[in-house]
């Protein structure tokens, strides 16, 4: 990375901090090593170990590099019930390395109290407006030409479309009705679209296959796109919409690239417990790198003397991809100081 891009990366990160600081969010600095993690079958992690002084490998205490600071931040939300954010390194294993992926990356994660996913979307639009505002050149250098001409394709308001409408528009069928008919109906739609799904895949996997190969490539590139209301059959810790087959979740795409993921956070302790139990069992069967799970984590959401876990919404955003978009680059390798 050249010196001007280093300066621009630094400016964007400082400007992001300034945005949240001015709004009264508490900046956190939580550990990168964790003794247990939230079970997520959609990703793999890095394992390491702590060996005590004069200890042997038999004395090693297993630790895992966090794929997200969520596990720590929700404990602090339960304790302090305040808006908070963090910019930190995160790690994901067994993913491809290249234009959009690096095993070690920078994550921006922010949680807003007494807010839902639509509130978080408005806050994210405000963040983009803040980052796109004209800025003076840093001391000792000029802003990169790409950064000086902030692309209009990043400017709010974001295009909003539900996942159901996205399937109707770009895949030509109703996701809700087809998924309700069963996995084989979804498999047939995949074949109609020219895909060749192997037999026996479940509904969630088939949905993901069609989404990645049909919906993502069709998303507009001339403005950010927020896809809302994900199907409830895809497991996550987002609150289910009342009387609906969807959860309160959105993902943000910029230039067709996934940039951020947001939930109205699930606050019911029993729902969180069931999620942990189900995902832990699947992780044991299918996970390549197994990790410890805190079986009592659901108690974080249980009512206490000072009240229940607060209604809130959280956003996880890839900072490297954001910087890539803001500087007009086509690869995150261009905006990383060093790559793995």
CATH number at residue 32: 3.30.930.10
How many distinct structural domains can be found in the chain?
1
208 contacts: CB under 8 Å, gap ≥ 6: 234
In-domain check, residue 204: no
In-domain check, residue 10: yes
In-domain check, residue 293: yes
State the chain's mean pLDDT as an integer.
93
Query: Taking Cα atoms as reference points, which of 128, 135, 134, 133 lies closest to residue 156?
Result: 128
In-domain check, residue 210: no
Q: Is 139 exposed, middle or buried (0-12, 13-18, 19+ CB in 10 A)?
A: exposed
Domain that holds residue 233: 3-158+223-334
> Full-prediction pTM beyond 0.85?
yes
In-domain check, residue 104: yes
In-domain check, residue 166: no
In-domain check, residue 178: no
In-domain check, residue 197: no
Distances from the Cα of 237 to the Cα of 73, 117, 160, 248, angstroms: 14, 13, 22, 10
**Cα 326 to the chain's mean position, in Å?**
19
For residue 148, what pLDDT is reported?
A: 46
Question: What is the spatial distance between Cα 81 and Cα 78, in angstroms, rounded to a whole number?
Answer: 6
Tokens of 317: 């955003």
- Judge whether 51 and 29 are in contact, CB under 8 Å: no
User: Which residue stretches of the chain have pLDDT < 70?
Assistant: 135-151, 305
Query: Taking Cα atoms as reference points, which of 326, 162, 290 lies closest to residue 229?
Result: 162
């Amino acid at each position: 990375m050249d010196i001007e891009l280093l300066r621009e990366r630094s400016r964007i990160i400082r400007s992001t901090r300034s945005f949240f600081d001015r709004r009264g969010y508490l900046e956190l600095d939580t550990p990168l090593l964790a003794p247990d993690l939230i079970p997520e079958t959609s990703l793999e992690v890095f394992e390491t170990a702590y060996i005590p002084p004069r200890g042997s490998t038999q004395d090693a205490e297993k630790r895992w590099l966090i794929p997200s600071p969520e596990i720590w931040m929700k404990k602090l939300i339960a304790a302090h019930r305040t808006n908070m954010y963090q910019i930190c390194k995160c790690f994901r294993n067994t993913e491809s390395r290249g234009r959009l992926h690096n095993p070690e990356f920078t994550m921006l994660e922010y949680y807003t109290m007494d807010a839902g996913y639509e509130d978080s979307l408005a806050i994210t639009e405000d963040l983009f407006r803040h980052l796109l505002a004209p800025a003076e050149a840093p001391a000792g250098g000029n802003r990169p030409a790409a950064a000086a001409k902030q692309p209009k394709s990043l400017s709010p308001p974001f295009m909003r479309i539900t996942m159901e409408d996205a399937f109707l528009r770009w895949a030509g069928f109703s996701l809700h009705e087809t998924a309700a008919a069963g996995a084989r109906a979804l498999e047939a739609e995949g074949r109609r679209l020219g895909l060749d799904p192997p037999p026996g895949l479940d509904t969630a996997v088939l949905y993901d296959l069609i989404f990645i190969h049909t919906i993502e490539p069709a998303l507009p590139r001339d403005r950010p796109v927020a896809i809302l209301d994900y199907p409830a059959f895809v497991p996550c810790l987002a609150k289910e919409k009342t009387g609906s087959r969807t959860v309160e979740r959105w993902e943000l795409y910029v230039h067709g690239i996934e940039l951020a993921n947001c939930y109205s956070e699930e606050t019911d302790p029993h729902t969180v417990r069931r999620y942990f139990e189900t995902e832990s069992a699947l992780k044991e069967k299918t996970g390549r790198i197994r990790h410890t799970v805190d079986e009592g984590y659901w108690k974080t959401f249980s009512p206490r003397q000072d009240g229940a876990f607060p209604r809130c919404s959280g956003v996880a955003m890839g900072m490297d991809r954001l910087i890539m978009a803001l500087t007009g680059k086509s690869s995150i390798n261009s905006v990383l100081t060093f790559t793995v």
